[in-house]
Amino acid sequence: MRLATRNHGFPLEALSYDVTPAGLHYLLIHYDIPAVDADGWRLTVDGRVGRELSLSLDELRSRPAATAPVTLECAGNGRAQLSPRPLSQPWLLEAVGTAEWTGTPLGGLLEEAGVADDAAEVLFRGLDRGVEGGEEQRFERSLALADARREEVLLAYAMNGWPLPPQHGFPLRLIVPGWYGMTSVKWLERITVLDRPFEGYQQTQSYRLRQVPDEAGEPVSRMLPRSLMVPPGIPDFATRERRLTLGPCTLRGRAWSGFGPVERVEASADGGASWSDARLGPQPSRWAWRSWEWDWEPREPGAYELCCRATDSAGNGQPQEAAWNLGGYANNEVQRVRAVVADA
């Protein structure tokens, strides 16, 4: 409950923007937002490197820069639809957003530091502290060296052309395109090259696909495909059921996947009993969502259940109903929107 009121979601009608305005992007903050004085702040790069680095924000900003639209989705998106509901941030479907992130590629910095031959992983440490699973900790996550070196991985200092807002990681955050959001560590303070796998809480306890608490489970990594629609018509205030009048209606939405470009989106007006192909818009970038449209004309007044689902180039799709896991992660079951169509 307290988590739910701290972390706001993305209103699904904002799927109509290619790039999500910063204030509409979802937020997920495990602990408190640190207040960072940019003048005193430095990023340290250490561990299994030939040369330790300590960089100011201006030094980072003067390095080679890249800007890319990237869709971020929380691994817990869809969690509240699982039963029994895992105890954590109760997202329905609104933990997503696409911002234009600007920063310097992480690979260049690692190269400058000179990664040792025995390096295995790169650890990212945030400034934020809290207690989770009975353990006091910083928010920390690691990536395998090969994943950290991918060219799309950024150390971002700007969001939609502006310095990062405090809640999105000021002054510097990691952006790992294609992966669920927990990988993109905010409020970066230190990057440490390790010669062995990191075993901290957010890596080995949290973000694992498990059925029971004492199994190791598979780590959560890339985003499974998902398609979401702009809820059509107008909402009923309390139930959020949609109200439409009889006549042609174009459903619009966005779809993404961390495993490969979206190749197909289908829509249904009968709860997933029958499907038809939606028209796909251009893919603006490999790492950003893709728009789609579907023309629908209900034949008669009544209640309908609208659904959509995406398939990516790797052949991954979306299930009608997701399999349960303890943490409620990576639930990419199809979206269902109830709509009541009335006579015009």
Ligand X SMILES: Nc1nc2c(c(=O)[nH]1)N[C@H]1C(S)=C(S)[C@@H](COP(=O)(O)O)O[C@H]1N2
Interface residues with Mo ion (CB under 5 A) are 28, 74, 181-182
263: left (phi over 0), alpha (psi -120 to 50) or beta: alpha
Instruction: Choose among 91, 90, 9, 15: nearest CA to 255.
Output: 15
Q: Which is nearer to Mo ion, 29 or 278 (CB)?
A: 29
Q: How far apart are CA 161 and CA 330, in angstroms?
A: 30
Among 15, 55, 185, 255, binds ligand X (CB under 6 A): 185
Instruction: Say how many C-beta atoms besides its own lie within 10 A of residue 142's C-beta.
Output: 24
Sole binder of ligand X in the list 100, 128, 266, 312 (CB under 6 A): 128
**Span interacting with ligand X, options 21-29, 104-112, 261-269, 313-321, rule CB under 6 A:** 21-29
Q: Which does 207 bind (CB under 5 to 8 A by kind): ligand X, Mo ion, none?
A: none
Residue 293 · residue 252 · CB < 8 Å: yes
Q: Are 101 and 178 in contact (CB under 8 A)?
A: no
- Interface residue with ligand X among 9, 47, 86, 126 (CB under 6 A) is 126
Nearest to ligand X of 208, 242 (CB atom): 208
CB of 176 to Mo ion, least distance (A): 12
Which 8-state DSSP code applies to residue 115? B
**Strands, E assignment, 108-169:** 121-132, 135-144, 154-159, 162-163
- Using an 8 Å Cβ cutoff, are 310 and 317 in contact? yes
Nearer to ligand X (CB atom), residue 100 or residue 128: 128
Whose Cβ is closer to ligand X: residue 27's or residue 334's? 27
- Binding residue for ligand X, selected from 86, 177, 181, 232, defined by CB under 6 A: 181
Cβ of 21: how many Cβ atoms within 10 Å? 11
Q: Which is nearer to ligand X, 74 or 262 (CB)?
A: 74
Site string for ligand X, 58-77 (x = CB under 6 A): --------------x-x---
Distance, CA of 57 to CA of 158 (rounded, Å): 11
Which of 168, 222, 226, 242 is the binder for ligand X (CB under 6 A)?
Answer: 168
Of residues 181 and 253, the one with the C-beta less far from ligand X? 181
For residue 210, give Cα distances in angstroms to 190, 204, 214, 329: 30, 11, 8, 9
Binding residues for ligand X, rule: CB under 6 A, are: 25-30, 72, 74, 126, 128, 139, 168, 181-182, 184-187
